[in-house]
Structure 1
Amino acid sequence: MVESAIVLDRVRGALLGGAVGDALGAPIEFMDLARIRTRFGAGGTSGFVSNRALPREVTDDTQMTLFTAEGLLRWRPGTDPAPALRHAYVRWLRTQRRREPPPDDDSWLAGQQFLYAVRAPGTACLRGLDQQLRGPRTPHRLGKPGPLNPDSKGCGAVMRSAPFGLAGFGPDMAFAFAGRCAQLTHGHPTGYLAAGALAALLDRVLNGTELTVAVRDTIAQLTEVTGAQETVAALRHAVECDAAGAASPERVEAVGAGWVAEECLAIGVYCALYAARTGDIRGALLLSVNHSGDSDSTGSVAGNLLGVTHGLSALPTEWVTAVEGHATILRVADDLVANFFLRDRTALGGRYPFED
């Protein structure tokens, strides 16, 4: 059993690391590598890029991750998590269409004004949740196309799924819960199984498994799941690219672009493996965003993995404290630990009514 202080540091690191990666990648998400280098030099961006001084803005990746956490905090153990997560994601959807929560909304999180920013949310997430509003769709058994967006394997499910791996469920349950709830918007097996794989990987690392072993064990877990071939291949390719030599944006692009789920996960894993091998956490965060693909989502997933592996205390302090919503993210991380590891809901201060 990992000590509670270490768990707290790692859960804080996972959520804030994801937010840092998101904020680093957001301004260059739609730039190709050549343009990034033309603007910032051969090494690409070396830090936050923004027209504003502070805070450094996050996107829907961090927004939806926080609502995932809220859904888990409202979920009643022993029940299907999908309804609680559906309600949480619908609350996020409202933030994209309103300026403030409706008067009858009991969500503490929905009262945080920075979450109302609209920053290129994913089409599959919006379309899937609109369909959920018209009538809840129950996720199918893992390994088959889900009921909504059955052809969508974009990264919009994997980039929000870290909290499933930060609740101490164990890798099998973390995988199943994340995959099931990813089907609320993404029905392609790769789209939701990659989300499950991220959760299982985070769960293993949080509970003390060394990263390379956790990656190996997660790949082995996936090989037993119908429909996981693309995710398995992408993760194996990430491991091979890490073993092949010095890290570079070109090698990141050999792993993928990150627009689809398995490539987003694989890039995050590749960058986390680089940091485990070199100790260069700052460099790994920059590596995860300086490429031609979906820089904010790959930065988010890499940040989740770097944070859970090394803890908040190892992340660059000046980046962590500058990120938008820092205090809220920290509070949500602490609530996850209080609820799932300390079994002491008094720490939550009444912020999450346990009815949904």
Structure 2
Amino acid sequence: MGATAGAVWGRVEQQDFRSRVRGTLLGAAVGDALGSPVAGLTMEQLGETYGPDGLTDLPPAYGRRGAVTDLTQLTLFTVDGLIRAQVRRDTGAWHPPTDLHRAYLRWAATQRDWGPDERRKDDGWLAREEWLYARRDPSRACLLGFADETMGTLDAPKNPGEPGAEAAARSAPFGLLVGWEPQLVFQLAVECAAQTHGHPTAYLTAGSYAVIVHALARGESLDAAVEKALVLLAARPGHQPVTDALQQAMNAVRQSAPAPALVEALVGNGTAEGLLAVAVYCTLVGEDVRQGLCLAVNHSGHSGAAGALTGGLLGALHGETALPPAWLAELEGRPTLLVLADDFALEMTQGPALHGPGGASSGWLTRYPRG
């Protein structure tokens, strides 16, 4: 697996990229925090609890407002794994799915250990963040997928019957590899999704989502981004449910004014492709980020995954300044998210200066070890 590189980054381009990286990661986390506490509630229950407009503000969960779940935790470890893959490339070891798998195993340790193990020097800084050592109802598929050292692959996927959206919800960072060709972004996201979600609908949804984020992060429109995903999907066995869901989302935009009933219809049976359709639809029709996110989580499906997927798209499209400041102020782990986002942007724009043969930084290699 390779990548295109060598882009010349001017100051304006670097600032725009950094804003989109921050926006993507913060947006996905805010969507997770907004939607996860109400996941599985029926439309009737949402109305009874939050009024006729449904959920319109961050609800409390895990003893606070703005709490994130395993969806955000795994997204952070996706970013960590991508940085580590770039660092390890200097050694001649270039297999990003393996580096991502190692990162996800570090996440799995946070779900069973009491806190960081300082003896594991190769874990890097993210695995030493104590706030991540919290079990936030992780999906069974993710726990089983990372329960041992064996890495799921497309030829031998973990949980081959699992069609859920959790793998897609951790896949936005793949789309931030803006120097890569779209087909390589798609392939990497698909391969990493198969480590926990082996059903074609689940891993093809993850690949499609990553490609859509990728196009948005490069400044393209959402319509053009979805079209790119549809083209790449067409060559993949088992693509039809995902293709149909994306086309339904685009058609729904033209049908009538935004409405919860349309979102509920797009959710379908609550599997990955339906939640991606919700994210695309709500990103297209929301007047602003707040309205788009609220529309995305008021349904009877996995509202957390829908919120995370939608937030990632909105953040990649508009950048961090478009996100609701009041929600960001209460977002759990925001300092960690910002540091990781900025490290990712720095790695992707100035990586050779940080750890290349001409100027390795010991500080960077301590944060992101090659081991």
Matched, 1:267 2:278: yes
Gaps of at least 5 residues in structure 2 are 1-6, 355-360
Moved more, 204-213 or 59-68: 204-213
TM-score by length of structure 2 reads 0.88
Q: List per-residue Cα deviations over 1:274-310 (Å, max 9, x = no partner).
A: 13xxx32210011111111101110000000000001
User: Which residue pairs with 1:330 in the alignment?
Assistant: 338
Matched, 1:163 2:173: yes
User: Which residue pairs with 1:74 in the alignment?
Assistant: 84
Equivalent runs, 1:35-114 vs 2, <5 Å: 35-50=45-60, 56-75=66-85, 76-77=88-89, 79-105=94-120, 106-114=123-131
- Provide the identity percentage: 39
User: Which residue pairs with 2:3 in the alignment?
Assistant: none
The equivalent position to 1:297 in structure 2, one of 275, 292, 305, is: 305
The equivalent position to 1:250 in structure 2, one of 261, 270, 273, is: 261
Give the match's secondary structure for 2:367. Answer: coil
Moved more, 218-227 or 176-185: 218-227
Give the match's secondary structure for 2:305. Answer: helix
Kept in 1: contact 2:69–2:137 (CA 8 A): yes
User: Which residue pairs with 1:5 in the alignment?
Assistant: 15
RMSD: 2.0
Kept in 2: contact 1:258–1:294 (CA 8 A): no
Matched, 1:27 2:42: no
Distance in 1 between residues matched to 2:117 and 2:205, nearest whole Å: 34
Give the match's secondary structure for 2:327. Answer: helix
**Structure 1 letter corresponding to 2:108:** L
Matched, 1:119 2:136: yes
Kept in 1: contact 2:58–2:65 (CA 8 A): no
Matched, 1:216 2:232: no
Kept in 1: contact 2:61–2:67 (CA 8 A): no
Kept in 2: contact 1:157–1:192 (CA 8 A): yes
Give the match's secondary structure for 1:341. Answer: helix
Deviation, 1:220, is: 1.8
Matched, 1:174 2:185: yes
Deviation, 1:137, is: 3.4
Q: List per-residue Cα deviations over 1:131-165 (Å, max 9, x = no partner).
A: xx1x4235136xxxx43211111112101111111
Gaps of at least 5 residues in structure 1 are none
Matched, 1:308 2:323: no
Distance 1:294 1:51, change over 3 A: closer
Q: List per-residue Cα deviations over 1:257-277 (Å, max 9, x = no partner).
A: 5742111211111111113xx
Distance in 1 between residues matched to 2:293 and 2:345, nearest whole Å: 25
Kept in 1: contact 2:81–2:99 (CA 8 A): yes
Kept in 1: contact 2:209–2:276 (CA 8 A): yes
Moved more, 335-344 or 83-92: 335-344
Distance 1:111 1:266, change over 3 A: same
Distance 1:99 1:52, change over 3 A: closer
Distance 1:264 1:52, change over 3 A: closer
Q: How many residue pairs are counted as aligned between the two chains?
A: 346
Distance in 1 between residues matched to 2:62 and 2:192, nearest whole Å: 35
Kept in 2: contact 1:197–1:222 (CA 8 A): yes
TM-score by length of structure 1 reads 0.92
User: Which residue pairs with 1:137 in the alignment?
Assistant: 151
Q: List per-residue Cα deviations over 1:41-60 (Å, max 9, x = no partner).
A: 11011111116885510000
Moved more, 209-218 or 176-185: 209-218
Kept in 1: contact 2:59–2:65 (CA 8 A): no
**Structure 2 letter corresponding to 1:96:** Q
Distance in 2 between residues matched to 1:351 and 1:319, nearest whole Å: 32
